């Protein structure tokens, strides 16, 4: 197991997306990125199918477990279970704005209860040896962002927390859907930068609206780390440059073709364990984003990957379609160059 890494670059916990298959794919793309689970509620951890919810391949380290809840004792117990499963970090969700989360008194609505969050974090910190961290918004509804964010952070610091991931938007619990809450509230990056300036001893990562690696590099001038969400999912290929550009490793960027070849053993192993192909390959749909054959790649995986008994041959067929499209473009480019020179 790799030693726990700082949050210089991480991939966000995303409901219905960042499952074990997705994280294994992202690990192929970057050896250093900190990966997060989907949010798992304390009730599910304590009473549900733990192996299905928490299981993962050891190649995924460093990997963090994100919990949802607001009962300190339950969070402490769930954190211990997460630590026993080998997670490198336990994170508390104080940012999800969904109706289900609000009705359960966890997620973004906890921005209104900083004392309770601090109590939860103190219980978690006392229960485990791995780091406990907070992922939060800058406020909810009519809260003053500066007051809400700094109050939450300071109270959690008093409970022993030193690492925070801040989604630099408010969450509007009344009037906006969870999807709208990812885009509509304006981003306030300067407030998160200021949090780092005024609390330099803390590890502050920024999240929200980060489109790619160029933006990551810019944010790192102001904060300790950057968390990439939807861009890392829909255009997974961009993660192939993270080890070199963000972590400074002397390695070549990994290409989407190399990713498929390196991910292939995981796909075959998962199929042998009884997982369905579509559940594995759905995370790969954006891998060839912007390249010739990307549409054929998505179509073949989506249409043929859902069939009963679909296997690795579907991936091979989709990959061949991309190779053929790339070759055709290169051939056209050579012909165009020859015609121009002869003309």
Residue ranges of the annotated binding site for FMN are: 13-15, 66, 135, 167, 207-209, 229-230
The span from the CA of 222 to the CA of 3, in Å, is 25
Burial 262-291 (b: 16+ CB within 10 A, else e): ebeebbeebbeeeebbbebbbbbbbbbbeb
Strand bridging mode 89-94 / 132-136: parallel
- Active-site choice (96, 109, 120, 136): 96
Q: Among all chains, which residue has been given the structure tokens 């990056």?
A: 189
Q: Which two tokens stand for residue 103?
A: 């009705």
- Known binding residues are 13-15, 66, 135, 167, 207-209, 229-230
The answer to whether 225 and 205 are in contact (CB under 8 A) is yes
Q: Among all chains, which residue has been given the structure tokens 């861009």?
A: 231
The span from the CA of 17 to the CA of 53, in Å, is 13
Identify each DSSP E strand in 168-291 by its residue range.
203-207, 225-228
- In this structure, the chain runs to a length of 343
Of 151, 157, 88, the residue nearest 121 (C-alpha): 157
H or E element: which one contains 194?
helix 189-198
Q: Which two tokens stand for residue 15?
A: 């409901």
In the residue annotation, 22 being an active-site residue is answered as: no
The answer to whether 211 and 228 are in contact (CB under 8 A) is no
Residues that are catalytic: 96
């Amino acid at each position: 197991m790799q030693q726990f890494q700082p949050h210089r670059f991480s991939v966000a916990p995303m409901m219905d997306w960042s499952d074990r298959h997705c994280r294994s794919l992202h690990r192929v793309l970057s050896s250093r990125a900190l990966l997060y689970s989907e949010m798992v509620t304390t009730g599910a951890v304590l009473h549900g199918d733990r192996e299905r919810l928490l299981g993962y391949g050891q190649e995924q380290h460093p990997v963090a477990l994100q919990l949802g809840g607001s009962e300190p004792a339950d969070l402490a117990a769930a954190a211990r279970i997460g630590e026993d499963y080998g997670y490198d970090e336990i994170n508390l969700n104080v940012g999800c704005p969904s109706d289900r989360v609000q009705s359960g008194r966890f997620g973004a609505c906890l921005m209104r209860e900083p004392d309770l969050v601090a109590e939860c974090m103190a219980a978690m910190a006392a229960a485990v040896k791995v780091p406990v961290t907070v992922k939060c918004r800058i406020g909810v509804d009519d809260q003053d962002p500066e007051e809400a964010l700094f109050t939450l952070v300071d109270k959690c610091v008093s409970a022993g927390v030193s690492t925070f991931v801040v989604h630099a938007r408010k969450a509007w619990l009344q009037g906006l859907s969870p999807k709208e809450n990812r885009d509509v509230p304006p981003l306030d990056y300067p407030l998160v930068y200021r949090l780092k300036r005024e609390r330099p001893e803390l590890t502050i990562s920024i999240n929200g609206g980060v489109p790619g690696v160029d933006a990551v590099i810019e944010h790192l001038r102001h904060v300790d780390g950057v968390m990439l969400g939807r861009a890392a999912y829909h255009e997974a290929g961009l993660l192939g440059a993270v080890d070199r550009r963000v972590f400074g490793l002397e390695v070549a960027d990994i290409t989407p073709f190399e990713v498929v070849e390196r991910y292939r053993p995981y796909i075959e192993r998962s199929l042998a364990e009884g997982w369905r192909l579509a559940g594995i390959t759905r995370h790969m749909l954006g891998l060839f984003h912007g390249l010739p054959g990307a549409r054929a790649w998505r179509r073949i995986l989506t249409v043929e990957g859902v069939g009963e008994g679909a296997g690795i041959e579907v991936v091979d067929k989709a990959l061949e379609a991309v190779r053929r499209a790339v070759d055709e473009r290169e051939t056209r480019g050579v012909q165009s160059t020859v015609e121009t020179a002869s003309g």
